[in-house]
Chain A
Amino acid sequence: MSLTICTECFARLRITQSVQSTSSRTFSTTAAQAGSAGSRKTKSNKAYYREATNRVIKKKPRVIPKLPMIGERKALRKRIVLSNTNALEVHGMQDLNVKNMADEEQVGQVLGLNGQLLDQLRELKAFKPTQNWNMFRKPGTLMRRESVALGRTILDIKAGQAEKRPRTVRRIVAGDRSTGKSLMLLQAMSMAFMNEWVVINVPEGMFSSRWMISQLTASRSGVYNCSLRICSDGFNVREAAITGSSSPNPALTVPGITSDYV
């Protein structure tokens, strides 16, 4: 029987720590029912007429499962693993640097991302848990023609800034599913960090996601209208509208739980 499964799914199979189940059952229950020499009950369970049998029911201690801490399962789901020691090391793999980011010769090569850049990208939430970083020994990105063109644009903007002719490029990267749009953004961020730019990243769904507990404040000329909506799974949806006060009423604000676990 041959089974084709993607290694990602295979890697996700985990032996979960389940609650300690009761003692294993034997094949035959006769011996257990009969009991060992020491455990046989001395009192007889003979039921008298119209009298309840006073069976001694041993109360088992209640097994309280040890739940994981609040946020642990979410952190586990959203964690980013960037390195896998089971993968082989690719010898001769260059790192992305200022010289080879705009080099045509690098099209088709996978360039690595090194040390401090990784921390910066991780901090900005540039990596997504659904990407396959956990398959390789060292994180790296494929240089496409579009990546090299992007590198050239970044170098040109940097040169323009030095020569006092500031150039702004505004671009939307569109395409079908899995065509590498988010990775194009990641490459842009890496190249910008290497050229010492200021990088601002808004990850997907940051400001419009439904499950982020966030407080909205509406400011309209003078009237401070605080509309509080808490939307999250498992929480009641409440709405409070206050008008006229100049500062938020602490009794009505709910401390927000941020979702930063990465």
Chain B
Amino acid sequence: MYDQPKLTAELLQRISKSNERVLKSLPLAHAHKLEDHHPKDLYRLATIGAENSSLSWKIWQALWKELTFPSEHKRPPVLVALDGIDHWMTLSKYRSSEFHPIHAHQLAPIRHFLEILFNKDGGKKLANGGLILAATTGSNAPSVPTFELLLKQLEAKEQGLKLGDEEFPMPEPYKVVDGRVLDLLDGSDELNVQRLKGLEKDVEARGLLEYFARSGVMREVVSQTTVGEKWSLAGGGVVGELARFGKRLRI
């Protein structure tokens, strides 16, 4: 297990700055062993972690405990947004002192977030509720076939299929799979996978193109024909592609 103290400190700094008002109103509920520091509220706790990178991982764990363990204080729910989790399902670019590549799951922050997301043993409960949202990445994705398989398995699990069933997605024969990634399937009953597809033509796509036209970015008339045309060219209304068509400049 490897810590990443400076990056954790950076994360704590961002959290403390953006949630300043809310964190300042939350006092500490549990006792933590922090050398000489006695923060009076969660904002102060996060700031200490941001300033001292050697303590940052400990403080991160303390902050997480404060926010998610049951206590008599009233705490708000927590949103954890994770972008680009494909990068976490493969080897990282770091190497150990024996020069073996380090898998991303051996990095403590990544492990922590994956445990919260997948909740294998059911141990990571949020006492005040919350939403843990992770997004895969499309344009910057490392190719991780095991992770794609895991997503398919999660979707199959939602539909009621189990590991022994015939139609349950299994790895292809003679392909090397990453055991650590497939292990994430156990437990994970609460997790669901949402596949985003294209926009609806008549309401959503039209609304987006009307906004582009009203901002002066798109210089065409927004009619059923033009909306339909752009929707089709965008592969069935994929938002990013639709936006590119909307902002096309003709010289």
A: residues with CB less than 8 A from B are: 2-8, 10, 86-88, 90, 107-110, 119-121, 123-126, 132, 135-137, 140, 142, 144-146, 153-154, 157-158, 160-161, 166-185, 188-189, 192-193, 195-210, 212, 214-220, 225, 227, 229, 231, 239, 241, 248, 256, 258, 260
Contact = CB atoms under 8 A, between A and B. Distances in A.
A182 B111 CA distance: 21
Q: Which of under 10, 10 to 19, 20 to 34, or 35 or more describes the interface residues of B?
A: 35 or more
Q: Secondary structure at chain B's binding surface: helix, strand, loop or mixed?
A: mixed
A251 to B, nearest CB: 16
B126 to A, nearest CB: 5
Contact of B130 (A168, A219, A248): A168
Interchain residue pairs A-B with the least CB separation, the first 5: A178-B240, A108-B207, A177-B138, A204-B84, A175-B196
A186 to B, nearest CB: 8
Label chain A's interface by main secondary structure: mixed
B138 A175 contact: yes
A6 B248 contact: yes
B81 A189 contact: yes
A209 to B, nearest CB: 7
B99 interface: yes
Contacts of A176: 138, 196, 238
B138 to A, nearest CB: 3
B93 A208 contact: yes
Interface of B: 1-7, 10-11, 14-15, 17-19, 22-23, 54, 67, 75-85, 87-88, 92-97, 99, 102, 104, 107, 109-110, 113, 116-119, 125-140, 151, 154, 188, 190-200, 203-204, 206-208, 211, 214-217, 238-241, 243-244, 247-251
Given A4-B250, A161-B128, A170-B192, A179 B81 contact: no
Given A157-B130, A166-B125, 20 more contacts: A3-B251, A6-B248, A108-B207, A121-B18, A123-B14, A124-B15, A136-B215, A166-B77, A170-B191, A172-B134, A172-B193, A173-B136, A179-B238, A199-B18, A201-B81, A202-B80, A203-B84, A208-B107, A214-B7, A220-B1
Contact of A207 (B7, B190, B193): B7
A216 B2 contact: yes
8 contacts: A88-B214, A110-B211, A125-B14, A174-B151, A175-B136, A204-B87, A208-B88, A258-B10
A93 to B, nearest CB: 8
Contact of B215 (A90, A142, A220, A260): A90
A126 B17 CA distance: 14
A168 B125 contact: yes
Contact of A177 (B14, B87, B93, B240): B240
A145 B217 CA distance: 25
B195 A174 contact: yes
Contacts of B18: 119-121, 123-124, 193, 199
Contact of A167 (B7, B79, B129, B204): B129
A117 to B, nearest CB: 10
B5 A215 contact: yes
Contact of B87 (A167, A168, A179, A208): A208
Contacts of A218: 1-3, 96
A145 B200 contact: yes
A198 B23 contact: yes
A172 B196 contact: no
B78 A172 contact: no
Contacts of B126: 166, 168
